[in-house]
Structure 1
Amino acid sequence: MTTPSDASAELGLGLNVHDVDAVADRRDELADAVRDHAGTIAYQLARLQGGDYGRIELSTPGGEWTVKHEAGELEFLLFSPNRGSDTYVVSTKQPPDPAGLAAALDDYANMVAAWNDHVESLSGVLDDVIAEFPDPASTEGVVAERDRVLDAVRETCSVIAGEIYRYEADDYGTFTARVSGDRWELKWEEGSVSYLRVGGSNGVYLLSQYAAPAAPDVREYADRFPAFVEAYNEFVAGVESDLARVELR
């Protein structure tokens, strides 16, 4: 195989192309050394920040450095000099330019010193923090009262759902009524309560298959629930059917 140097000799150009292997090898050697060393900083940064992803900017006389980690592994080390172009000293894409790497390494010790200063500034910051806290109040009583009210609401709605299911003869359906300006909607599925919602699609679910409503919402709407039942009874009275009226206990 004819090399460029051989070709130039054959053409009588008298041109020699220098071999870059030595420069590339030295560049890779230095970049690997920086990767290993800065990797320690990335690991310590991950421990300090406590997350899977993180970064820190460190200012030095020569410019600004950015250390970024992913799960404690060094993702990249970027040097932004005061003058000149940025250099990714370490990255996942390509090795740095030799000249850029040389300029970065001239300032690298300053970056490490800036990191050490940052860590030192945090030393003792938590020494005077008291880790004794008041006991949080229990929600057991509130939850019990909420569940007591909702169980009664569900029991009544189950009767309504069963009656409407029998009347409509459909596996799925809803009964709606307007109470004090709010739209109440009871949805059933094969005679069982699917949900009871107040206030339209963005309203409050007093009953649902997912989560219980907040206690203040239960307090607000439980007092209005009898009016919803009365609306159902008026519906029953207005149709020719043997639907049963519902009595609140």
Structure 2
Amino acid sequence: MTEGLDAAVEEMGDVSERRDELAARVRTHAGKIARELAVFEGGDYGQAEFETDSGTWTLKYEAGDVQYLRYDPTSGSETYVVSSKQPPDPDALETAMADYAAFVTAYNEYAQSVEGLLENVPDEFPAVESTAELVAERDRIVERIRDVGNAMASELYRYEGEYGTYATTVSGTRWELKWDGDVAAYLRVGGSDGTYLLSQYGPPSATEVRRLAGDVEAFVETFNEHVDDLEADLSRVSFDGNT
């Protein structure tokens, strides 16, 4: 009943050790290809396939290192020669390694084929025109608008209180000035999705300034009419309650 229990069991440690050593060497060697591909492709990760007479090699890399190296022979099952999950079967590794040199040759041929790729690409370009003068003129106009906005804010602060908004319509478009104390917080044209002629973030584009600056005068005139109405109302108030 115990026949065979005392029989010697052959150890496979040498095979496993050799397999792991070989897989580690392949990872290091294929890592050189991965880094070359990453530099050439201009990205931290990617994938490339290389055809040989015996099959297809797929190298996937990330951060210049091998994620996996897969060998898919024309006949038989695919093998992950390098993988983050588990080492390959020794027999499958042996089959793949018989074609590994062909894989490296295929990569080298690809690398040689792209040499001189940029030889005829021009490296001299036309001069870039400066927008400095345009920007300076834009800023000058916006600063004048800000002076006007602050003057309006100062009057509104005096009449209406510490903060608030004044809105009116100019040429069919809503203009809204928000004041905070005696300065303009923003001047917005066109509602909530409109253009901020004045804001705390930065000036509008020169195109928007050109489009809207011509209506600033009408906006100020409408505001002045508003102030005149306020003054007329106040002038009709008496201490005895009669108007």
TM-score normalised by L of structure 1: 0.78
Distance 2:224 2:7 in 1: 104
Q: Which moved more, 1:129-138 or 1:53-62?
A: 53-62
Distance change in 2, residues 1:170/1:34 (3 Å): same
Deviations 1:16-47 (A, max 9, x none): 76534233212211111111111111121222
Where 1:74 maps in the other structure, the secondary structure is strand
Deviations 1:152-171 (A, max 9, x none): 11111111222223333234
Following superposition of structure 1 onto structure 2, how do residues 224-235 of structure 1 map, counting pairs within 5 Å? Answer: 224-235=215-226
For residue 100 of structure 2, the aligned residue among 108, 123, 128 is 108
Distance 1:169 1:237 in 2: 18
Distance 2:156 2:78 in 1: 72
Distance 1:180 1:83 in 2: 78
Following superposition of structure 1 onto structure 2, how do residues 125-204 of structure 1 map, counting pairs within 5 Å? Answer: 125-171=117-163, 173-204=164-195
For residue 216 of structure 1, the aligned residue among 207, 218, 228 is 207
Following superposition of structure 1 onto structure 2, how do residues 15-30 of structure 1 map, counting pairs within 5 Å? Answer: 19-30=11-22
Distance 1:197 1:68 in 2: 52
Task: Say whether the 8 Å CA contact 1:31–1:90 is kept in structure 2.
Answer: yes
- Alpha-carbon shift at residue 192 of structure 1 (Å): 2.8
Residue aligning to 1:44: 36
Task: Say whether the 8 Å CA contact 1:167–1:241 is kept in structure 2.
Answer: no
Structure 1, gaps ≥5 residues long: 1-8, 244-249
Task: Say whether the 8 Å CA contact 1:195–1:209 is kept in structure 2.
Answer: yes
Deviations 1:61-118 (A, max 9, x none): 4443333333323333333444555443323343334344334323322322222122
Distance change in 2, residues 1:71/1:190 (3 Å): farther
Distance change in 2, residues 1:155/1:52 (3 Å): farther
Distance 2:218 2:114 in 1: 62
TM-score normalised by L of structure 2: 0.80
Distance change in 2, residues 1:124/1:15 (3 Å): same
Task: Say whether the 8 Å CA contact 1:59–1:114 is kept in structure 2.
Answer: yes
Distance 2:232 2:51 in 1: 82
Q: Which moved more, 1:216-225 or 1:185-194?
A: 185-194
Task: Say whether the 8 Å CA contact 1:195–1:206 is kept in structure 2.
Answer: yes
Greater radius of gyration (CA): 2
Where 2:230 maps in the other structure, the secondary structure is coil
Distance 1:100 1:182 in 2: 75
Could you tell me which amino acid in structure 2 is paired with residue 49 of structure 1?
Answer: E
Structure 2, gaps ≥5 residues long: 235-243
Distance 1:18 1:231 in 2: 101
- Alpha-carbon shift at residue 144 of structure 1 (Å): 1.1
Q: Which moved more, 1:92-101 or 1:208-217?
A: 92-101
Deviations 1:188-223 (A, max 9, x none): 333333322222232222222223322111111111
Could you tell me which amino acid in structure 2 is paired with residue 54 of structure 1?
Answer: G
Q: Which moved more, 1:12-21 or 1:208-217?
A: 12-21
